[in-house]
Structure 1
Amino acid sequence: MAFMTNVAILGAGKIARKMAETINLMSKDSRWEGQVNLYAVATRDSIERAEQFAREFEIDVAYGSYQEMLDDPDVDMVYIATPHTLHASQAIMCMEAGKHVLVEKPLAINATQAQAVFEKSRETGLTCGEAIWTRYEPSRRIIQDIIDSGIIGEITSMSANLSYPMMAKERIIKPELAGGALLDVGIYPLNFVSMFMPGGVSRIVSSARLSEQGTDELSQTTLWYDDGKMADITTSYWEVGDRCGMIRGTEGIIRVENANNPEEIRVLNRSYETISNPEIPHQLTGFEYEVDEMLTAISQGNVEPVSMPHDETMRMMSLMDKIREQWGLKYPDEM
């Protein structure tokens, strides 16, 4: 039986605004009517900013401090939309206060922090999920079904790119905010190849161009798998990338336009002729699927959503730790 989940948003930036829009649309959609409510927004030290955000998105309650939100027994779940460096500590803080948490990607800045978050989730029995929308979207199942059909044969290699010029964003260029392309956009092509490439990673070959401040501006990473297959990942906050994901097989190719939020999936045969172009379902915003899985996990008493279990977040964090190790890149909080 469905029950209402009151959601509070921690933070009031761009990504918080998208989640607010999403939950408001979900609450008016017959698929989720009566199941989710955008109840509150909290900022760290600005009640004026919180109240402005609340007015814009018709939110019942605004808090000018995080503690006020933690003390409110009517908050069931918190969406954490703050800078990367705060995610782990805030997720633990919320679970200690009895709140389920959906944490914007990356869940933490490294595997050690992520492990502490999941230990708290298991200790409290509260649901904790990483909000990386690619993992939850219906396009994931569409692509997997194509692979499982055998139409492209055996997967031999993959590649994915996600790059945007973002030098003007303060959080991107500052090491103290765990800036750089990897955690912000590189996490998407890494997840894309990891969803569909079978087997474990046996070797990583990666290089990056670091800024004067010490953040990764541009990087190229090759993952070599136990069976000899490979996947290439390119990411940057300096250039305009093609955003394309490629899955290559012995009989054909799957080309995905916009690997972090697929807009088109095209299957080509050995002659490069299009043989399939499946329709991608209409989205409210694309964030609804991660919220839906959190609602399901909470209602069933599970500590993790099905599409992004804790082990997978840990695997991604560990890979990114190893990639940064090759670059000699540590964030100030790790030193």
Structure 2
Amino acid sequence: MSRLNGRRAQAEAEHLKVNVAILGAGRIAHSMASTLVAMAGDPRYRDLVAPYAVAARDGGRAAEFAARYGFPVSYGSYEELLADPLVDLVYIATPHSLHAEQGVMCLEAGKNVLVEKSFTANAAQARELLDAARRTGLLCTEAIWTRYMPSRAMIDDIVASGVIGEVKAVNANLCYPVSGKARMTDPALAGGALLDVGVYPLNFIDMVLGPRPIAGIDATMVPYETGVDAHDSITIRYEDGTMAAAQASMLVSSDRGGYVWGTEGYIVCRNINNVEGIDVFDADHKLAAHHDVPAQLTGYEYQVADAANAILDGLTECAAMPHADTLRIMELMDSIRGQWGLSYPFE
């Protein structure tokens, strides 16, 4: 029996679950913990994943986190977590600047990884982490939840139906006033709007248009007092004449809209960060169709389920966010920062 089929067959026969551990105990770690607990109680996922452990640099903080969510194990160091043979998948919930180093550490310890977006701080780090995944033969996938959500396939299906004609332009924005969070303004942690919120409109554009040759990028930003980007505007011109525009900010609020413009109509997506509904309009701006998205636990469950199933199938990447897509987005963001002359202290 092959390794690919063997692990899944064993899991189905013995009702094995993928034990998920969280590395880090910050805000996003709490969101993931809530998700794992909800999945454990949901018939769709309870035989697939189990909330197992958390590790933080402070043992007391880790213990409190574990007690709050009912995780059976907590560790006061990342090394202790990685030494635990029962850990199958590590969700990396630390700042961008730490993802590459910690991801490689997990993989070399024999642990599959689900790495919070932005995958790394730059493309060079992304290549280093993806090389480790290939070297170890373990799963390494980026946790950008919009790539895994059902809304993505719904948008793809609408575009493929031809109802809006040929897509010629895409516009997406995501802005939150989050400059009060220390990590957002710290250059040493790869802070700024681009890697934290700008990554979503860029991924929305990429999901709709897919990989295609870029003719040029025009990007501008307003810097924060610490030097990181605070407010961004990005236009991408493709060789086939298609255009895309993205806006991101950590200073203001926006409508968070995603817009796909075609020759015979257009699509409006409410909240690209977690699509709440999709409206289709004809060329006369009349509502042609409305699509509700499926009810969800938290929205994070899809990436966890995809990662767990990939592990059971012996895969090193998830189809929803393959390594090539992750690297393309990282290279795009490097190019944008290059226009700004923005680098981080560790680069």
Give the TM-score category using the shorter length: over 0.9
- Residue in structure 2 matching 1:64, options 65, 72, 76: 76
- Corresponding residue for 1:227? 240
Query: 1:104-150 CA deviation, whole Å, 9 max, x = no partner?
Result: 00110000000010110011000000000010000000000000000
| 1-structure distance, mates of 2:272, 2:190 | 23
Query: 1:229-253 CA deviation, whole Å, 9 max, x = no partner?
Result: 1000000101111100000000001
The SS at the match of 2:292 is: coil
1:174 and 2:157 are equivalent in the alignment: no
Query: How far is 1:212 from its partner?
Result: 2.1
| 2-structure distance, mates of 1:33, 1:175 | 40
Matches within 5 A, 1:102-121: 102-121=114-133
Query: How far is 1:36 from its partner?
Result: 0.8
The SS at the match of 2:22 is: strand
Matches within 5 A, 1:169-208: 169-198=181-210, 199-208=212-221
- Corresponding residue for 1:267? 280
Instruction: Report the TM-score, using the length of structure 1 for normalisation.
Output: 0.98
Query: 1:165-185 CA deviation, whole Å, 9 max, x = no partner?
Result: 111100011111100000000
- What root-mean-square deviation, in Å, do the aligned CA atoms of Structure 1 and Structure 2 show? 0.8
The SS at the match of 1:233 is: strand
Matches within 5 A, 1:109-148: 109-148=121-160
Query: How far is 1:200 from its partner?
Result: 2.4
- Corresponding residue for 2:88? 76
Pairs aligned (count):
333
Query: In the alignment, residue 202 of structure 1 is paired with which amino acid?
Result: A
- Corresponding residue for 2:45? 32
**Stretches (4+) displaced over 2 A:** none
- Corresponding residue for 2:5? none
- Residue in structure 2 matching 1:95, options 93, 107, 110: 107
Instruction: Report the TM-score, using the length of structure 2 for normalisation.
Output: 0.95
- Residue in structure 2 matching 1:276, options 277, 284, 289: 289
1:303 and 2:303 are equivalent in the alignment: no
- Corresponding residue for 2:163? 151
| 2-structure distance, mates of 1:23, 1:226 | 43
| 1-structure distance, mates of 2:308, 2:91 | 12
Query: 1:38-91 CA deviation, whole Å, 9 max, x = no partner?
Result: 1100002x1110010001000001101111101111111100001111011000
Query: How far is 1:31 from its partner?
Result: 1.2
Query: 1:151-208 CA deviation, whole Å, 9 max, x = no partner?
Result: 0000011100000111110001111110000000000000000101142222111011
- Corresponding residue for 2:302? 289
Query: How far is 1:34 from its partner?
Result: 2.0
The SS at the match of 2:233 is: strand
Q: Which runs of 5 or more structure 1 residues have no equivalent in the other structure? A: none
The SS at the match of 2:219 is: strand
Q: Percent identity?
A: 50
1:316 and 2:319 are equivalent in the alignment: no
- Residue in structure 2 matching 1:237, options 250, 270, 281: 250
- Corresponding residue for 2:267? 254
Q: Which runs of 5 or more structure 2 residues have no equivalent in the other structure? A: 1-8
